[in-house]
Amino acid sequence: MGTLLDIRGLNAWYGESHVLHGVDMDVGEGETVTILGRNGVGKTTTLRTIVGIVRSRKGTISFAGNNMMQVPLHKAAHTGIGFVPEERGIFATLTVSENLLLPPVVAQGGMSVDEIYELFPNLYERRNSSGTKLSGGEQQMLAMARILRTGVKMLLLDEPTEGLAPVIVQRIGDVLKKLKQRGMTILLVEQNFRFASRIADRFYLMDHGQMVSEFPVGELAGRMDTLHKVLGV
Amino acid sequence: DGASDGKVKIGILNDQSGVYADFGGKSSVEAAKMAAEDFGGKVLGVPIEIVDADHQNKPDIASNIARQWYDTQQVDAIMELTTSSVALAVQAVAKEKKKIDIVTGAATTDLTGKACSPYGFHWAYDTHALAVGTGGALVKQGGDTWFFLTADYAFGYSLEQQTSDFVKSSGGTVVGSVRHPLSTQDFSSFLLQAQSSGAKVIGLANAGLDTANAIKQAAEFGITQGGQHLAALLFTLAEVHGLGLEAAQGLTLTEGYYWNRDDESRKFGKRFFERTGKMPNMIHAGTYSAVTQYLKAVQKAGTDDTEAVAKELHSMPVDDVFGRGGTVGANGRMIHDMYLLQVKKPAESKEPWDYFNVLATIPGKEAYIDPAKSGCDLVK
Amino acid sequence: MTMIFGIPVQALLGQLLIGLINGSFYALLSLGLAIIFGLLRVINFAHGALYMLGAFVAYLLLAYAGIGYWPSLILAPIIVGLLGAVVERLFLRRLYDLDPLYGLLFTFGMALTIEGTFRYLYGSSGQPYATPPALAGGANLGFMFLPIYRGWVVVMSLIICVGTWLLIEKTKLGAYLRAATENTILVQAFGVNVPVLLTLTYALGAAIAAFAGVLAAPIYQVSPLMGSNIIIVVFAVVVVGGMGSIMGAIITGYLLGIAEGLTKVFYPEASNIVIFVIMAIVLLIRPAGLFGRDA
Amino acid sequence: MADITETIPTEKSGIAASVQAGFLIVGLLLLVLAPFFFYPIFLMKLLCFALFACAFNLLLGYTGLLSFGHATFFGGAAYFTAYTVKEWGFPPELGILVGVAGATFLGVVMGFVAIRRQGIYFAMVTLSLSQMFYFFCLQAKFTEGEDGIQSVPRGHLFGFIDLNSSTNMYYFVLGVFIIGVLIIWRFINSPFGMILKSIRENESRAISLGYSVARYKLGAFVMSAALAGLAGAVKAIVFQFATLTDVTWQMSGEVILMTLLGGIGTLIGPLFGAGLVVTLENYLATSEFPVTIITGIVFMVCVLLFRRGIIGEFYASWIGRKLGFVYRR
Amino acid sequence: MAVSAMPTEDKPRVVLSARGLRRDFGGFTAVRNVDLDVYDASVHALIGPNGAGKTTVFNLLTKFLQPTDGTIKLNGVDITKTPPDKVARMGLVRSFQISAVFPHLTVRDNVRVALQRPNNLATQFWRPMSALDRLNERAEQLLASVGLTKEQDQLAADLSYGRKRVLEIATTLALDPKVLLLDEPMAGMGQEDVSVVSGIIREVARSRAVLMVEHNLSVVADICAYVTVLQRGEILAEGDYATVSADPRVREAYMGTEEG
Ligand SMILES: Nc1ncnc2c1ncn2[C@@H]1O[C@H](COP(=O)(O)OP(=O)(O)OP(=O)(O)O)[C@@H](O)[C@H]1O
Ligand SMILES: Nc1ncnc2c1ncn2[C@@H]1O[C@H](COP(=O)(O)OP(=O)(O)OP(=O)(O)O)[C@@H](O)[C@H]1O
Ligand SMILES: [Mg+2]
Ligand SMILES: [Mg+2]
């Protein structure tokens, strides 16, 4: 299993404010990795910096042999990264199916529309209604679904369970497990670590713009103390 | 006692970049320079200097410049003064400062009426002369029923008012009128109303782009082919040139000057053309005339002192390419002949800028208000 | 003859038709404004100047290169569109992160500059531009004499309006445009080259304005002032319609053209302010505009 | 999205405050002495426009509302003043009062309609409404159309100060200007100003705290209109006429340019902006350069490169910061 | 206020009530047939899946949106047609789902702005800023009560997310509201802040009615006396937490089969 994403010494800024202070991390091919951390430690920023939305950044990011520091935002997807933002970003003026078909296909091997509807039957039912008429959970599924069609190698998911009803959280967990079986690489940002523990292979713990520790899922139980301290749960 | 400060300085203050720039503009400055050169560049042994400024159609800028010119730049007279708000404002300043101003660019009769000044003169034309020319003379040519397309502001009203007075007094009738807003793009609604009125003459009591658009669209709606006749109340050679003969043919208008009228005017026209690339209209020629007459007055008075020069200007007859046989009334009005002109068909035009047939000459006495009745309090 | 409010029905029909022709220009211009605003969040004050530019390009092509109306109908929008693209790339692009008011102010300056330049070079009394011979003359419709060219204007504007609407509502490119309107960054993160899209949008808006300009050239004097006279009215049209929808902009354009046309019959003195009055009334009753969504 | 008002200095340290006080004193001194060095009518014009721009800035800089129709108040007041002074023989101070009252009334009417929309819509609505007013002035009888109301007597202030003397006139205008600026300063540094600021920061939160946002905006709008009217009224007395020029949309554009050049949201910026524009206009009048082109280019350059304006750039510059002027962002 | 006894088992007073509330967006009905009673001196939770219409109900109650149908009464007064700022002045004050502070004002000024109106210091454009100094004492009290004393001179923008929400509550309390509507006050908050804020809410509700939207069920269980569950714009279940959470329909639609 080779390394797909490799990040060294990543720093990032919003204007004057320095948010990431030297992030080091890597994600292997087909692996599911979760970043845990409290509010405002820089989890979202890490994902946004990888994709290239945050552009005042220093350090190295290499993804599937590309130096992502050089890649403009609109080319990032073409290297095989799919980003699902925290706020989901469903387009209100587009219908569900237009939303689904919006992102350009960047590589072979993405799911077909039929496969997607099979995976998310609710979306099929609502394909002609406008994007924002979906419930929060459906929106989250749509946000993921539309990336699956494009054939990306890796998903960056930002808090896919935030604000969702427990029943929907379960469903999303199931979908992610299925994707994992198909060999998708997933980088997940979560606060809900009970949810994360069901699907992740490995964890990073983030604090103050840095990764403070890293451990495989097996060590989770033994680390509950540290986690409690850092996460405050 | 000669020129007060070692030179005679004339300021040309007009619109050089705005809506009236074609009317006079930089070419008026050129006309003034021609006049100075024709005078030999010197008067009373001191050099003649022409300065100019673009008032941007803003009376406050004009008034500011006029004051500075009179007070600190030794300007002896200000001329041209396109657009009435500017002309009135500057004439007020000139009156206060006891300095000469000669208006060629503005149309309002107030300049020699209730706003007259002992040192203020109105040279090329005014609304009254235009109304008499187009209104009165055209009726005599058979255009005896009228419909007006009037710009909806004071200028339009007074043109319409004065013109219909002359139409009626010459035995014609006014069958209707419609008021259109200033800067209207589309005249077709109004033209349809004019068309259905059946009037023989459609009088355009508006100016500039409005008149041009109305004429152009009248051609489009086949109004002239339908036998109706267009008469523009304020329109000059420069604008006919902009419109093109195709659209403008058959239009009647009144000007105080036409370059292709006789040999003398042709000579001046050609010289002017060589310097500016266009033939002069009445504002350009009028400015030439005003500068020339002013210099003659200075010469005759032997000084550039305002009172003395104004006295000469009032009493000297005018005799140059523009104001042949002209006189100046006590109210400052220069009274000279006007011409009723008709735009030629494209086929009739023999050379560039050969645009008009002269239909009639309106004697100055008829064209202009009798100074005694002008309402100017300088006339007893 | 049947009368309505003292006006013969025949005359009324004629005036309605004329209103529709004016509305065609309003619709074309407000459509362009709405597209540019939708994606760039820029109120394009220079829209009137671009319209004027379209007419002038047609005039210049004829005067200096002998290129007539028909090629100009294609060439002028392309030239002005390219110019728009350059302006977007060099200048407007720098203003996207700022308050939209800066875009308004920048394009205001642009309008002054373009208009001033043409006034400087060509004066303000306008240039002649003849109706193409194929469209000269007119048809007697019984109730009025309709110049064929005016009929052509209505047809062309309808085609462009509907075509643009279809482009935006029914194509993939349109979907990108609409999505980018909502969330530019995300669309870009999906791999769409949004900067190019923005350039194209401005160019498209400019091209439509120029097209309207060429259409206008044989009717109105080709004058540097023709743009600034119309742009304020078009702004009012846009406020009445609300910039929510492309269709809204189009329909409002035609409707207000007709409203203005009718005012010219019943109360001509008010015809220049009728649109502003309608605007004020609409604002009082429906602040978001007829077709607008609340922000 | 960065707010148009982002460049407002929020705090000043001790040095900055005293530097500002220093500037103020020097500036005042200069203004008092100016007529001995410059042409008075030019200075008066400058002060009128500076007050106009300050009034405009009160709205744009402190509530974030860009009005594209402020010429209505400036030019409208000029008409009212000119008319009452000329036709009804009002003394200048009373005429000016009438002008201000008229502008206030126009402000209430236009504001009532316009504040229903925000941002660029607001700009477009004010533009349209002022265009309506322009047509009104064009067609109304009392404005005398394109001639304008001319030869307005300056008269005697309070019955004994002869305003025909340009020295008297100048100090009167200066006095009005200073009072106007003081009113603006008080207004923005008052409890009312605080609410305006919070509305600009977060409008729906202000509503949820029970503030009728529309009324506060209207208040600011009317205040700005009244002061713009004051400037216009005084200008009518200075130049002794009122014409259409002052109610055109180009005039509304000009005041925006002055404010932008001087520095949006700075108290004294507009004075510099007005000075620059008025000087430029005068200079261009006698030069070969066409005015509109230059104005347009200045606009574009300003928006692209000096958004903060002269004073704003100074505050934000190295020296400004050293002196303790602080910026958001 | 001299109300001594806590509401006893028999009916406490209804301060805010809605009947037959409905709201359409175009063809889509976001809220329908909602009857709601909010009682004095208690915390009432509004829960439900995403998109159930909770925020919309809030917007309707506070008049940020106009109901398509239905009536709303505040203390017996019909406010169905009242504009939002007036509703706020009548004592019904809300917070927003996305934090709502005045970012470039200091923490103290944030609270002072809220205090200005009740103290008649909002419209005086002729008085100096120092007129507001007499609000400082009350502002500091309020900030102390939520633990923001240390931060009072910072710009609100510089506060952490949780602190911003706390500030928002302090600002809201400055109006001394009778009914408080809180939209997801704990969303995205760390655990410490969650406990602080629940403490504050509990305290506040001693003398006021609180209606809150919250996904954090342990908080709901902890401090809310009544719970209303919305689903697809309609009321699915009502009652105290135990009753509601035992309802199989609620478990299916909202909580899932997993434990808490
Ligand atoms: N657009 C922005 N401009 C300025 N600062 C920002 C911006 N977005 C985030 N920040 C700040 O950067 C820091 C990191 O934010 P980030 O969104 O990465 O946190 P997070 O770990 O994802 O938190 P959460 O769990 O709340 O999503 C925070 O302090 C936040 O306030
Ligand atoms: N302005 C609007 N226009 C159209 N639909 C809307 C509007 N506001 C809300 N909706 C729709 O109404 C429904 C209810 O939305 P609401 O925000 O009230 O849900 P919620 O229960 O607060 O959800 P969440 O827990 O995600 O905040 C959603 O389907 C939403 O899409
Ligand atoms: Mg995050
Ligand atoms: Mg909600």
- A211 CA to centre of ligand 1 in angstroms: 16
Mean predicted lDDT score pLDDT of chain A:
86
The pLDDT assigned to C161 comes to 94
Nearest alpha-carbon partner for C203 in C29, C84, C53: C84
DSSP output for D116-136? TS-HHHHHHHHHHHHHHHHHH
Do residues C19 and C181 lie in contact, with contact meaning Cβ atoms separated by under 8 Å? no
Average pLDDT estimate for C271-289: 84
Section B245-254 average pLDDT? 90
Token pair listed for D198: 């919070």
Average pLDDT value for residue range E3-11: 48
Answer yes or no: are the C-beta atoms of E208 and E42 closer than 8 Å: no
Residue E61 lies in a domain: yes
pLDDT at C295: 41
The answer on pLDDT for C178 being more than 80 is: yes
* DSSP secondary structure letters along E73-136: EETTEE-TT--HHHHHHTTEEE--SS----TTSBHHHHHHHHHHTTTT-SS-SSS-GGGGGGGH
Mean pLDDT within B28-40:
93
Give the pairing of strands D9-12 and C145-147.
unpaired
pLDDT band at B338 (very low <50, low <70, confident <90, very high): very high
In order of B63, C131, D72, D112, the CA distances from D241 in angstroms are 10, 45, 16, 30
Supply the DSSP symbol for A6. E
Q: State the average pLDDT for chain D.
A: 84
Mean pLDDT of B329-339: 92
Residues B133-174: tens digit of each pLDDT? 888 888 888 888 999 999 888 888 888 998 999 899 888 899
For residue A1, what pLDDT band results from cuts at 50, 70 and 90? low
How large is the average pLDDT for residues B57-64?
88
Which of D87, D142, D147 to mutate: most B Cβ within 10 Å?
Answer: D147
Chain D stretch 136-195, residues whose beta carbon is closer than 8 A to a beta carbon of chain E: 186-187, 189-195
Q: Which residue of E has its CA nearest to D203?
A: E102
Is E25's C-beta closer than 6 angstroms to any atom of ligand 2? yes
For C98-144, how does the pLDDT look when each residue is reduced to its tens digit (9 = 90+)?
Answer: 888 888 889 999 999 999 999 888 887 788 888 888 888 888 777 77
Tokens of C129: 């531009």
Distances (CA, A) of B333 to B123, B281, B282, B290, C122: 7, 19, 16, 12, 33
pLDDT tens column, E13-65: 889 999 999 998 876 788 999 999 999 888 999 988 767 888 899 889 988 88
Interval D25-46: pLDDT, tens: 888 888 888 777 788 888 899 9
Choice among A111-120, B181-190, B228-237, E95-104 with the minimum mean pLDDT: E95-104
Nearest-CB residue to D290 (from C106, C114, C120): C120
C190:A77 CB<8 A: yes
Largest CA distance in chain A: 49
Pick the residue whose CA is nearest to atom 31 on ligand 1. Answer: A40
Q: Using the mean position of ligand 1's atoms as its centre, give its distance from the Cα of residue E144 in Å.
A: 27
The answer, yes or no, to whether residue E236 has pLDDT greater than 60, is: yes
Give the model's pLDDT for residue E259.
41
Number of C-alpha atoms within 13 angstroms, CB side, residue A127?
15
Residue E260 falls inside a structural domain: yes
Fold of D6-328: ABC transporter involved in vitamin B12 uptake, BtuC (1.10.3470)
- Model confidence band, residue D1 (pLDDT cutoffs 50, 70, 90): very low
Query: What's residue D329's pLDDT?
Result: 34
Q: Considering chain B, what percentage of its residues have pLDDT values greater than 90? A: 49
Nearest atom in ligand 1 to the alpha carbon of residue E188 is 26
Question: Taking residues B270-278, what's their average pLDDT?
Answer: 92
C-alpha closest to that of C283 among D224, D214, E237, E139? D214
β-bridge mates for residue E38, sequence order: E16
Q: Is the CB of E31 under 6 A from ligand 2?
A: no
Which residues line the pocket of ligand 1, CB cutoff 6 A? Answer: A 14, 17, 19, 37, 39-45, 191; E 188
Q: Which residue's CA lies nearest to atom 25 of ligand 2?
A: E50
Residues of D in contact with B153 (CB under 8 A): 138-139, 145-146
Query: Is D146 in Cβ contact with B153 (below 8 Å)?
Result: yes
Structure tokens, C259: 């409203």
Amino acid at residue number E221: A
Two structure tokens written together for D74 = 């400036």
Question: What proportion of chain B, given as a percentage, has pLDDT over 70?
Answer: 99
Q: What is the pLDDT of residue E3?
A: 40
pTM as predicted:
0.85
Q: What is the ipTM of this complex?
A: 0.82
pLDDT band at residue E190 under the 50/70/90 scheme: low
B212:C120 CB<8 A: no
Q: Which residues pair with E22 in a beta bridge?
A: E69
Residue E56 Cα to ligand 2 middle (Å)? 6
Rounded to whole angstroms, the Cα distance separating B181 from C64 reads 35
> Residue D11: pLDDT band by 50, 70, 90 thresholds?
very low
User: Is C181 in contact with C173 (CB distance < 8 Å)?
Assistant: no
Is residue E183 assigned to a domain?
no
- Going from the C-alpha of E91 to that of each of B329, E72, E114, E116, the distances in angstroms are 80, 14, 13, 15
Instruction: State residue B146 phi and psi, 5-degree precision.
Output: -125, 145
The pLDDT tens digits for E106-156 are 899 999 998 888 887 777 777 877 778 888 888 998 888 888 888 888 888
- Taking Cα atoms as reference points, which of D4, D10, D14 lies closest to residue D66? D4
Using the atom order of ligand 2, give the atom closest to the CA of residue E65: 1
Q: What is the pLDDT of residue A233?
A: 46
Q: Into how many domains does chain E fold?
A: 1
pLDDT over 70, % of chain C: 95
For position E2, what pLDDT does the model report? Answer: 40
Evaluate if residue C199 carries a pLDDT over 80. Answer: yes
**Using a 6 Å cutoff on CB, does residue A129 contact ligand 2?**
no
Structure token pair of residue E102: 């005045």
Tell me the average pLDDT across B198-222. 89
Asked if residue E191 is part of any domain, the answer here is: no
**In this model, does residue C289 exceed pLDDT 60?**
yes
Segments forming the whole domain that contains residue E56: 1-81+216-260
Q: Give residue A129's Cα distance to chain centre.
A: 26
What tokens were used for A152? 């990306």
Is the minimum CB–CB distance between A93 and chain C shorter than 8 Å? yes
Residue of B nearest to C16 (CA): B189
Return the HEC string of chain B. CECCCCCEEEEEEECCCCCCCCCCHHHHHHHHHHHHHHCCCEECCEEEEEEEEECCCCHHHHHHHHHHHHHHCCCCEEEECCCHHHHHHHHHHHHHHCCEEEECCCCCHHHHCCCCCCCEEECCCCHHHHHHHHHHHHHHCCCCEEEEEEECCHHHHHHHHHHHHHHHHCCCEEEEEEEECCCCCCCHHHHHHHHHHCCCEEEEECCHHHHHHHHHHHHHCCCCCCCCEEEECCCCHHHHHHHCHHHHCCCEEEECCCCCCCHHHHHHHHHHHHHHCCCCCHHHHHHHHHHHHHHHHHHHHCECCHHHHHHHHHHCCECCCCCCCEEECCCCEEECCEEEEEECCHHHCCCCCCCEEEEEEECHHHHCCCHHHCCCCCCC
pLDDT tens digit sequence for D120-150? 788 888 988 998 999 889 888 888 877 888 8
d(Cα D129, Cα D221) in Å, to the nearest integer? 14
Amino acid B222: pLDDT: 84
Task: Answer yes or no: is pLDDT of B121 > 60.
Answer: yes
Q: From the CA of E160, how far away is ligand 1's center (Å)?
A: 9
Cα R_g (chain D), whole angstroms:
19
**Residues on D contacting B at a C-beta cutoff of 8 Å:** 39, 41-42, 45, 135, 138-139, 144-148, 150-151, 235, 239-241, 243-245, 281-282, 284-286, 290-292
| E182 class by beta-carbon count within 10 Å (0-12 exposed, 13-18 middle, 19+ buried) | buried
What single-letter DSSP state applies at residue E188?
Answer: T
Contact B334, B241 (CB under 8 A): no
Strands D9-12 and B8-14: unpaired
All partners of chain E with 3 or more CB pairs under 8 angstroms:
A, D
Q: What is the mean pLDDT of chain B?
A: 90
More confident residue, C171 or A229: C171
CA E74, E80, E81, E86 dihedral sign is: positive
A3-231 maps to which CATH number?
Answer: 3.40.50.300
pLDDT at C30: 92
Banded model confidence at residue B77, pLDDT cuts 50, 70, 90: very high
Q: Which phi and psi (to 5°) does residue C140 adopt?
A: -90, 115
- The CATH architecture one would assign to domain C3-127+146-285 is Orthogonal Bundle (1.10)
Which residue bears the tokens 């193409």? C132
Eight-class DSSP state of E240? -
Residue B95 and residue B72 in contact, taking contact as beta carbons nearer than 8 Å:
no
pLDDT in tens, A5-24: 999 999 998 876 788 999 99
Of B71, B80, B74, which is closest to residue B52 (Cα–Cα)? B80
Question: Which pairing describes strands E234-239 and E226-231: parallel, antiparallel, or unpaired?
Answer: antiparallel
pLDDT at E152: 84
Q: Which of B9, B57, B60 is the best mutation test for D, with the most CBs of D within 10 A?
A: B60
pLDDT(D326) > 60: no
pLDDT digits (tens, 9 = 90+) for D187-240: 888 899 889 888 888 888 888 888 888 889 999 999 999 999 999 999 999 989
Closest ligand to A207 CA?
1
Question: Residue C15 — pLDDT band, cuts 50, 70, 90?
Answer: confident
H or E element in which residue E31 lies: strand E28-39
Structure tokens at C180: 């980018």
Grade residue E255 by pLDDT with cuts at 50, 70 and 90.
low
How far apart are the C-alpha atoms of B137 and B131, rounded to whole Å?
9
The CATH number of residue E237's host domain is 3.40.50.300
- Nearest CA to B206 out of B222, B195, B190, B220 is that of B190
Point out which residues pair with B302 in neighbouring strands: none
With a cut of 60, say whether residue C1 has pLDDT above it. no
